[in-house]
Protein backbone atom coordinates (compact mmCIF):
# COMPACT_ATOMS: atom_id res chain seq x y z
CA UNK A 1 0.00 0.00 0.00
CA UNK A 2 1.22 3.50 -0.70
CA UNK A 3 2.03 5.95 2.08
CA UNK A 4 -1.05 8.13 1.54
CA UNK A 5 -3.57 5.28 1.93
CA UNK A 6 -5.37 4.68 5.19
CA UNK A 7 -4.22 1.57 7.02
CA UNK A 8 -4.68 -0.26 10.32
CA UNK A 9 -4.06 -3.81 11.58
CA UNK A 10 -6.86 -6.38 11.45
CA UNK A 11 -9.35 -5.86 14.29
CA UNK A 12 -10.05 -9.62 14.48
CA UNK A 13 -6.60 -11.23 14.50
CA UNK A 14 -4.23 -8.23 14.74
CA UNK A 15 -2.36 -9.17 11.56
CA UNK A 16 -0.43 -6.47 9.72
CA UNK A 17 -0.99 -8.25 6.40
CA UNK A 18 -3.86 -6.08 5.11
CA UNK A 19 -4.91 -5.14 1.58
CA UNK A 20 -7.08 -2.26 0.42
CA UNK A 21 -10.04 -2.82 -1.91
CA UNK A 22 -11.50 0.47 -2.99
CA UNK A 23 -14.20 1.88 -5.20
CA UNK A 24 -12.22 1.44 -8.43
CA UNK A 25 -11.96 -2.34 -7.85
CA UNK A 26 -15.74 -2.77 -7.57
CA UNK A 27 -16.38 -0.41 -10.49
CA UNK A 28 -14.05 -2.38 -12.77
CA UNK A 29 -15.46 -5.68 -11.49
CA UNK A 30 -19.01 -4.54 -12.31
CA UNK A 31 -17.94 -3.34 -15.77
CA UNK A 32 -16.22 -6.65 -16.54
CA UNK A 33 -19.21 -8.63 -15.28
CA UNK A 34 -21.52 -6.70 -17.59
CA UNK A 35 -19.18 -7.28 -20.54
CA UNK A 36 -19.01 -11.03 -19.93
CA UNK A 37 -22.76 -11.26 -19.27
CA UNK A 38 -23.59 -9.66 -22.63
CA UNK A 39 -21.96 -12.67 -24.27
CA UNK A 40 -23.89 -14.96 -21.93
CA UNK A 41 -27.24 -13.60 -23.12
CA UNK A 42 -27.49 -16.74 -25.25
CA UNK A 43 -28.60 -18.24 -21.90
CA UNK A 44 -31.00 -15.44 -20.88
CA UNK A 45 -31.32 -16.13 -17.11
CA UNK A 46 -27.53 -16.23 -16.68
CA UNK A 47 -26.87 -13.18 -18.85
CA UNK A 48 -29.59 -11.02 -17.31
CA UNK A 49 -28.53 -11.97 -13.76
CA UNK A 50 -24.91 -11.12 -14.55
CA UNK A 51 -25.81 -7.75 -16.07
CA UNK A 52 -27.99 -6.81 -13.10
CA UNK A 53 -25.27 -7.85 -10.64
CA UNK A 54 -22.71 -5.78 -12.56
CA UNK A 55 -24.98 -2.74 -12.48
CA UNK A 56 -25.49 -3.13 -8.73
CA UNK A 57 -21.71 -3.38 -8.18
CA UNK A 58 -21.14 -0.22 -10.23
CA UNK A 59 -23.83 1.68 -8.32
CA UNK A 60 -22.50 0.57 -4.92
CA UNK A 61 -18.82 1.16 -5.76
CA UNK A 62 -18.65 4.73 -4.34
CA UNK A 63 -19.75 3.36 -0.97
CA UNK A 64 -16.89 0.86 -0.91
CA UNK A 65 -14.17 3.48 -0.41
CA UNK A 66 -11.79 2.73 2.43
CA UNK A 67 -12.50 -1.01 2.59
CA UNK A 68 -9.68 -3.13 4.01
CA UNK A 69 -9.31 -6.92 4.04
CA UNK A 70 -7.04 -9.10 6.16
CA UNK A 71 -4.92 -11.53 4.15
CA UNK A 72 -4.74 -13.93 7.11
CA UNK A 73 -8.35 -14.34 8.36
CA UNK A 74 -10.11 -12.67 5.36
CA UNK A 75 -12.12 -10.25 7.53
CA UNK A 76 -13.31 -7.15 5.64
CA UNK A 77 -13.97 -3.82 7.34
CA UNK A 78 -14.27 -0.14 6.57
CA UNK A 79 -11.44 2.13 7.71
CA UNK A 80 -11.37 3.16 10.54
CA UNK A 81 -12.71 0.10 12.36
CA UNK A 82 -15.35 0.88 14.97
CA UNK A 83 -13.80 0.15 18.34
CA UNK A 84 -16.07 -1.45 20.91
CA UNK A 85 -16.30 0.42 24.19
CA UNK A 86 -14.74 -1.46 27.07
CA UNK A 87 -15.78 -0.57 30.58
CA distances (Å), origin 61, targets 23, 27, 47, 73: 5, 6, 21, 23
List the domain boundaries for the chain: 18-78
- pLDDT per residue as tens, the chain (87 positions): 444 456 678 888 888 888 877 788 889 999 999 999 999 999 999 999 999 999 999 998 888 777 888 888 888 877 766 655 444
8-state DSSP, 8: -
Amino acid sequence: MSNNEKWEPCPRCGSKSVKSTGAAFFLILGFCLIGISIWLLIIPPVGITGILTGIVLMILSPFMRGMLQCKECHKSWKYPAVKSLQR
